[in-house]
């Protein structure tokens, strides 16, 4: 399989298949890869427009049977839960036509409740067949979160913590942090431990101008 020219809705790294379904995000993190790169692994993740569900499915069908994927992950240059319906429908399709052995994961900033008010986001994901949630917390307190993630929503940090606590009741959850100077990683690891979820540090990819 080779990378296609133009924007990629579906891309792959190793034995994981990734779905880049939106470039919209309520955060504007200064360290975000999309601020200084067009994509990863030879794939251009800057979408010209937001793909419809059928377009995502069409691109997925082209490659889903090429390998025995370990994970199918909603992760691109945007926040997947800004398109909750698409995440749910694609997950349902995978479970119905591809099988139950593959792990379905959502990489998110954890603002799913703010993006989808009056919806039981966690239950919808669980019911559709999502197994894992990876939450990019990236700060040890609200002040630092506002400084480095620059969220559009008020009380974003508190809502992310609420999302993590709710998600861990029914899903496999990890909290991640990018190694940047502003963040107290030890404190963040303690927060994850207090919430009873896994913790992982991601290395910051420095921009080269």
Residue with tokens 């909290």: 175
E strand or H helix that includes residue 194 = helix 185-195
Domains of the chain, each with CATH number or no CATH: 10-202 (3.20.20.70)
pLDDT at 207: 52
Q: Which two tokens stand for residue 139?
A: 């700060």
pLDDT at 1: 38
Classify residue 169 by burial, with Cβ atoms within 10 Å: 0-12, 13-18, 19+: exposed
Using CA atoms, how far residue 200 sits from 79, 116, 149, 189, 192, in Å, is 19, 26, 18, 8, 10
pLDDT at 45: 95
Task: Return all residues near 43 (Cβ < 8 A) that are at least 6 apart.
Answer: 3, 8, 11
Stretches in the chain below the pLDDT threshold 70: 1-5, 204-209
pLDDT at 209: 40
pLDDT at 203: 82
pLDDT at 2: 38
pLDDT at 43: 94
């Amino acid at each position: 399989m080779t990378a296609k020219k133009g924007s990629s809705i579906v891309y792959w790294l190793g034995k994981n298949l990734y779905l880049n379904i939106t470039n919209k995000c309520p955060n504007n993190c200064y360290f975000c890869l999309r601020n200084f790169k067009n994509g990863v692994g030879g794939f251009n993740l800057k979408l010209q427009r937001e793909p419809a569900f059928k377009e995502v499915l069409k691109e997925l069908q082209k490659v889903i049977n090429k390998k025995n994927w370990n994970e199918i992950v909603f992760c691109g240059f945007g926040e997947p839960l800004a398109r909750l319906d698409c995440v749910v429908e694609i997950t349902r399709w995978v479970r119905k036509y591809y099988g139950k052995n593959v792990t379905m994961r959502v990489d998110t900033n954890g603002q799913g409740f703010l993006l989808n008010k009056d919806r039981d986001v966690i239950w919808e994901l669980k019911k559709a067949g999502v197994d894992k949630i990876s939450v990019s917390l990236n700060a040890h307190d609200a002040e630092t979160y506002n400084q480095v993630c620059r969220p559009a929503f008020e009380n974003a940090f508190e809502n992310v913590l609420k999302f993590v606590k709710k998600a861990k009741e029914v899903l496999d959850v990890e909290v991640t942090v990018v190694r940047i100077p502003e963040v107290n990683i030890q404190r963040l690891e303690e927060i994850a431990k207090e919430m009873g979820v896994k913790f992982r540090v991601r290395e910051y990819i420095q921009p080269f101008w």
